């Protein structure tokens, strides 16, 4: 069984964040399979992440008539996404991929299996929370499980 905090986080995971986690799992499968120690690859990915992430941050927070303040995680994702995309494309270059899909069916099955397992675990956490709201409710407890004092 998963720790109570993780189970609670999964139960409260939005559809959008579930999709982002699925993308990240796909990235990790490719990263583990095709990891490359080339400093040039990783420095290029970091450089692109800083340039594109800054542009995205400016675009989302400063380019409209109304200034927008992003929370920490959404702002972080503006930088990590270009890093993952650029490193992914460099890792799969010349390896027989079609778009983002490996030509190796075992790699596809591994990624699809991990994503399916993650989605099923999330579904079970949500179902548990719905059937037993006192068991899983991150809104009513702090990180250590004690009741919150904020209302």
Distance CA 17, CA 7 (A): 15
**pTM for the model:** 0.79
Q: Which two tokens stand for residue 84?
A: 């993952």
Phi and psi angles of residue 117, each rounded to the nearest 5 degrees, phi first: -60, -40
Q: Indicate if the pLDDT at residue 1 is higher than 70.
A: no
Q: What is the pLDDT of residues 18-46, one digit of tens each?
A: 999 999 999 999 999 999 999 999 999 99
Nearest to 17 by CA among 90, 104, 96, 118: 118
Using the predicted structure, report yes or no on whether residue 5 has a pLDDT greater than 90.
Answer: no
């Amino acid at each position: 069984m998963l720790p109570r905090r993780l189970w609670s986080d999964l139960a409260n995971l939005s559809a959008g964040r579930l999709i982002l986690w699925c993308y990240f799992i796909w990235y990790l499968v490719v990263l583990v399979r095709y990891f490359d120690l080339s400093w040039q690859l990783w420095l290029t990915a970091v450089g692109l992440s800083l340039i594109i992430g800054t542009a995205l941050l400016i675009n989302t927070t400063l380019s409209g008539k109304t200034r927008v303040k992003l929370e920490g995680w959404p702002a972080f994702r503006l930088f990590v996404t270009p890093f993952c995309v650029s490193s992914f494309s460099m890792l799969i270059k010349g390896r027989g991929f079609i778009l983002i899909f490996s030509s190796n069916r075992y790699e596809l099955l591994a990624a699809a299996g991990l994503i399916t397992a993650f989605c099923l675990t999330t579904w079970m956490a949500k179902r548990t929370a719905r059937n037993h709201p006192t068991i899983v409710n991150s809104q009513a407890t702090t990180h250590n499980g004690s009741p919150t004092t904020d209302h």
